[in-house]
């Protein structure tokens, strides 16, 4: 199994940390992982993206131009990355702020109302964990228990009291993801 | 030996591995994309763990001259920077090479020339292997292509630096520095005591005591005959390094008809391109260079008897290709493909270049 993922959105949405937790979760179940952020000048207040690869085998290129899954969290990223999903691949996005919805018919498209759900739950910081949950519902490449272990490993001990809240957010995401058919 | 598993950036992995390799000191100055090195060291406080000194100098020039001084005292010392900062260090590097002192220098390359861009590049190949400073000298140049190798090669680099009393350059780039991967770390090696340094390194300036011989460290020899003798001695050492220390890795080369030649992050992209090529029925392989000096001339020569063509892939407008062509010596087709200025070639682009420039060209 090799899963090649791009996660793209605004800086501050937790794009990089979502990727990091996914990478840690892969390590917890003894897989190979790579996490390659965009660190260019475009990050200052603009878009942020990270390529995450989780694989049973040694990972070749950490830089890719086609992905099994694109997780898209703003319009700019939709414009840039919709085309990079491999035929038959997955595009997961949050419709909040999206003015042009995806139109491809050769991929599987899903929506998660992450921003809305986080606001409903009264904590916008768990937005990225809701989206992560939605992704893991579609592609259960890592087990939830390994995500929790990954959180423990990646968060400093003083934040470990926040882990149950993050776990709940992941489960909310798992429950609320919906398939989307382009018009 | 039990090895600890972590998820780290390349820049963090090399910083931690250097502590564990028993380094005595790090002198540096921050610059993107390698500022995590000094950031990690400052946060980690190795002076409390092992006694290792970490100091942010007032400039890159100051940092390399602090390295010169500490190396002269027989200490395991290193510095890091990115392209424009490495240019500033060149005078010091030439002096250290001339004075035959061991040290490790990390360059996390960004696009140039000038201030350039903060994004990844491999355009410092000439500077690294042909001598960015003045005079007839060579650095041993190691090119990691993963986070694990950032950690492994700094340990090797210190060993090589002391074996040959020569600076070792680790030539990395923004991809390897910024990406996170799994890394297994070695257990802490003890730093040498002052007494051990005195006993092991007869050249080190550890303080003259009554009756001991005076030890002089200099790169100055005003008489031409003296300087020439020193040059001849250095050349002998470089020849010995070329004979003993060539390192490379081959990926699917056994039955290959075409071979990519690459190092660092370009080699990772090429590895994927090999898979894509094989899926299309093209027998491609990859020769990944680990040492850039010494350059694996003999292995490239051997491969010319087997393969039909070679594509040198690098994030520059064509630097390593010159050494590839010298080693190929006209026997088969050898061409360059590169993206530069901070752009990274994709596996598809690399495969297309192989198909059009080498197979169809």
Task: Based on the fold, state whether residues B145 and B78 are members of the same structural domain.
Answer: yes
Q: Give the mean model confidence (pLDDT) for residues B57-78.
A: 98
pLDDT, residue B2, reads 55
Contact A60 B271 (CB under 8 A): yes
Asked if residue B186 has pLDDT above 80, the reply is: yes
Distance (Å, whole) CA B237 – CA B231: 10
Asked if residue B1 has pLDDT above 50, the reply is: no
Q: Residues 109-168, chain A: which have Cβ within 8 Å of B?
A: 153-154
Q: Give the mean model confidence (pLDDT) for residues B1-29.
A: 93
- Give yes or no for a contact between B340 and B327, defined as CB atoms under 8 angstroms apart: no
pLDDT tens by residue, A132-172: 999 999 999 999 999 999 999 888 899 999 999 999 999 99
pLDDT, residue B361, reads 72
Best mutation target among A40, A55, A56, A61 (most B Cβ atoms within 10 Å) is: A61
pLDDT tens by residue, B107-129: 999 999 999 999 999 999 999 99
Q: Give the mean model confidence (pLDDT) for residues B83-102.
A: 98
Contact B118 A62 (CB under 8 A): no
Task: Based on the fold, state whether residues B40 and B173 are members of the same structural domain.
Answer: yes
Task: Based on the fold, state whether residues B274 and B172 are members of the same structural domain.
Answer: no
Q: Is B342 on the interface with A (CB under 8 A)?
A: yes
3-state secondary structure chain A: CEEEEEEEEECCCCHHHHHHHHHHHHHHCCCEEEEEECCCHHHCCCEEEEEEEEECCCCCCCCCCCEEEEEECCHHHHHHHHHHEEEEEEEEECCCCCCCCCCCCCCEEEECCHHHHHHHCCCHHHHHHHHHHHHHHHCCCCCHHHHHHHHHHHCCHHHHHHHHHHHHHHHHHHHHCEECCCC
Token pair listed for B319: 């630097």
Task: Based on the fold, state whether residues B54 and B117 are members of the same structural domain.
Answer: yes
pLDDT, residue A119, reads 96
Reported ipTM: the value is: 0.92
Q: How many structural domains comprise chain B?
A: 2
Containing domain of residue B269, as a range? 248-359
pLDDT, residue A72, reads 98
**What whole-number percentage of chain B has pLDDT above 90?**
96
In a domain, B29, yes or no: yes
In a domain, B349, yes or no: yes
Task: Based on the fold, state whether residues B76 and B146 are members of the same structural domain.
Answer: yes
Q: How far is B36 from chain A (nearest CA, A)?
A: 13
CATH code for the domain of B93: 3.40.50.970
Asked if residue A99 has pLDDT above 50, the reply is: yes
The full set of domains in chain A, from first to last, is: 2-179 (3.40.920.10)
Tell me how crowded residue B256 is: count the other CB atoms within 10 A of its CB. Answer: 24
Omega before residue B294 within 30° of 0, cis: yes
Asked if residue B131 has pLDDT above 90, the reply is: no
In which residue are the tokens 């035929």 written?
A87
Task: Based on the fold, state whether residues B96 and B167 are members of the same structural domain.
Answer: yes
Comparing B361 with A102, the larger pLDDT belongs to A102
pLDDT tens by residue, B280-334: 999 999 999 999 999 999 999 999 999 999 999 999 999 999 999 999 999 999 9
End residue of a domain, out of B194, B219, B236: B194
In a domain, B299, yes or no: yes
pLDDT, residue A45, reads 63
In a domain, B237, yes or no: no
Q: Give the mean model confidence (pLDDT) for residues B243-258.
A: 98
Distance (Å, whole) CA A42 – CA B118: 11
Task: Based on the fold, state whether residues B178 and B280 are members of the same structural domain.
Answer: no
Nearest CA in chain A to B267: A61
Q: Is A27 on the interface with B (CB under 8 A)?
A: yes
- Identify the bridge partners of residue A32 per DSSP, sorted by sequence position: A55
Q: Give the mean model confidence (pLDDT) for residues B64-87.
A: 98
CATH code for the domain of B322: 3.40.50.920
Distance (Å, whole) CA B104 – CA B162: 10
Tell me how crowded residue B281 is: count the other CB atoms within 10 A of its CB. Answer: 6
Average pLDDT score over chain B:
96
């Amino acid at each position: 199994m090799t899963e090649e993922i791009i996660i793209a959105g605004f800086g501050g949405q937790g794009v990089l940390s979502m990727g990091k937790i996914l990478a840690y979760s892969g390590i917890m179940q003894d897989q190979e992982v790579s996490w390659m952020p965009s660190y260019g000048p475009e990050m200052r207040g603009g878009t942020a993206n990270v390529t995450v690869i989780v694989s049973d085998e040694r990972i070749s290129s950490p830089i890719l131009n086609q992905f099994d899954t694109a997780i898209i969290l703003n319009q700019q990223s939709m414009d840039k990355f919709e085309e990079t999903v491999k035929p038959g691949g997955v595009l997961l996005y949050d419709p909040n702020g999206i003015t042009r919805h995806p139109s491809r018919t050769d991929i599987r498209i899903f929506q998660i109302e992450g921003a809305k759900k986080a606001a409903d739950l009264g904590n916008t910081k768990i937005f990225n964990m809701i989206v992560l949950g939605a992704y893991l519902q579609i592609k259960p490449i890592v087990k939830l228990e390994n995500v929790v272990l990954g959180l423990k490993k990646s968060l400093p001990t003083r934040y470990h009291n926040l882990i149950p809240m993050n776990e709940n957010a992941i489960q909310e995401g798992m429950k609320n993801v919906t398939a989307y058919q382009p018009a | 030996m039990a090895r600890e598993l972590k998820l780290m950036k390349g820049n963090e992995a090399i910083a931690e591995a250097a502590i564990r390799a028993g380094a005595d000191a790090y002198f540096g100055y921050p610059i993107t994309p390698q500022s995590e090195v000094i950031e990690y060291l400052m946060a980690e406080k190795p002076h409390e763990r092992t006694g290792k000194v970490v100091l942010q100098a007032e400039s890159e020039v100051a940092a390399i001259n602090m390295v010169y001084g500490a190396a002269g005292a027989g200490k395991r010392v290193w510095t890091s920077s990115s392209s424009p900062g490495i240019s500033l260090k060149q005078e010091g590097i030439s002096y250290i090479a001339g004075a035959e002192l061991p040290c490790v220098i990390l360059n996390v390359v960004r696009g140039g020339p000038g201030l350039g861009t903060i994004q990844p590049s491999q355009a410092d190949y000439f500077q690294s292997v042909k001598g960015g400073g003045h005079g007839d000298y060579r650095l041993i140049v190691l090119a990691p292509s993963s986070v694990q190798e950032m950690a492994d090669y700094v340990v090797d680099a210190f060993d090589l630096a002391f074996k040959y009393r020569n600076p070792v350059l680790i030539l990395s780039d923004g991809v390897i520095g910024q990406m996170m991967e799994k890394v297994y770390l070695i257990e802490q090696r003890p730093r040498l005591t002052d007494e051990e340094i005195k006993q092991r390194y007869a050249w080190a300036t550890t303080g003259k005591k009554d009756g001991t011989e005076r030890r002089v460290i200099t790169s100055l020899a005003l008489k031409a005959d003296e300087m020439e003798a020193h040059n001849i001695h250095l050349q002998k050492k470089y020849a010995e390094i070329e004979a003993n220390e060539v390192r490379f890795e081959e990926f699917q080369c056994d039955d290959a008809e075409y071979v990519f030649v690459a190092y660092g992050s370009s080699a990772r992209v090429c590895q994927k391109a090999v898979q894509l090529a094989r899926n299309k029925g093209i027998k491609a392989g990859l020769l990944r260079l680990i040492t850039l000096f010494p350059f694996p001339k003999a292995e490239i020569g051997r491969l010319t008897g087997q393969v039909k063509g070679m594509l040198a892939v690098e994030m520059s407008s064509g630097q390593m290709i010159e050494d590839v062509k010298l080693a190929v010596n006209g026997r088969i087709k050898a061409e360059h493909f590169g993206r530069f200025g901070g752009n990274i070639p994709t596996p598809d682009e690399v495969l297309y270049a192989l198909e059009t420039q080498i197979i169809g060209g």
